[in-house]
Amino acid sequence: MKVSLTVMPVTSAGRCILTFVLMLFTCVTSIYGQDKERVHEPVTFKYEVRAGWGGFPFVDRSIMVTDNSEIVPPDGSLSSLYRDYNGDTYMTGVFSAEFSFNFRKWFSLALGVDCDGIYTRRYSADTGHKTGTDRRAVLTFLPQARFSYLNREYVKLYSSIGLGYSFGTSYGDSVLFPSVQLTPIGVTAGKKVFGFFEIGVGTLYIGCMAGAGFRF
């Protein structure tokens, strides 16, 4: 099977995203080291890990899911009429895992990895019986800057913005495209162990995401 890589046409946007990601990584160590020498509001927990699920991956569906006419173009031969065809396509939703550095009580940098699974049942055009399943996945690396505007001992409200890249495979082709995600509002409840709920819009997902985390 021939495998090819398709990069979405995002020249200037892609360069901006790569620059943003590199700057975030470069600044993590320097900012975190300098922060110890400054007088600032104490940070109770310096690190945070999260795991969540939710959202509708609209962009994944529009880029990675194609209809039968695009997958198996008719060539006019009799054999093309009896090729397998695809049934409905299902998506798992976005599974998210991230590690955060809390530089201030109001600012943190989160490095996240997200995965969206896609699968389609394949059927025989001759018998109508299931012949197999096509499985695909989209992986996203998404650094996010998170800003908290309400900080209480057990409740926090925040907003965030993230820029990264997504990589997926579909029918022998590989696709690389930029990922941008905005979270207008999110809330955490709990102290060391907490739950979170947020509303977001972007290429990663549209809708809500919920999960749990641990601070240390």
59-77 confidence digits (pLDDT tens): 766 666 655 544 444 555 5
Question: pLDDT for 92-128, tens place per residue?
Answer: 889 999 999 999 989 999 999 999 888 777 777 767 6
Rounded Cα gap, residues 100 and 143, in angstroms: 9
Highest mean pLDDT among 88-97, 120-129, 154-163: 154-163
- Regarding pTM above 0.75, the answer is no
Instruction: List the structure tokens of 123.
Output: 């059927």
More confident residue, 62 or 56: 56
pLDDT for 158: 96
Residue 119, class by beta-carbon neighbours within 10 Å (0-12 exposed, 13-18 middle, 19+ buried)?
middle
Q: Which fold has domain 4-33+45-66+78-215?
A: Porin (2.40.160)
